[in-house]
Amino acid sequence: EKVTGTIVLPDGQITVQGLFANSGDDTDIIPITGGSGRYEAAAGSMKATSGRRQVTFELQFAQAGA
């Protein structure tokens, strides 16, 4: 399933877009596609781990120039 999301933080926003299986016990890596404010140059990915009753999201930022 294709997903698009915006994470709203006190100093700006981070946007993600990619594929998310959401099929039970699964982990998907969804690319960071942009940002605003403090996160204007955000790059990296969001790790989405789904379980039986919850989904956990973890932002993983790439270092500048990487």
CA distances 47 to 18, 26, 30, Å, are 11, 10, 6
38-57: pLDDT as tens digits: 999 899 999 998 887 888 89
4-25: pLDDT as tens digits: 999 999 999 999 999 887 677 7
Whole-model pTM: value is 0.81
CB-neighbour burial class of residue 59 (10 A; exposed 0-12, middle 13-18, buried 19+): middle
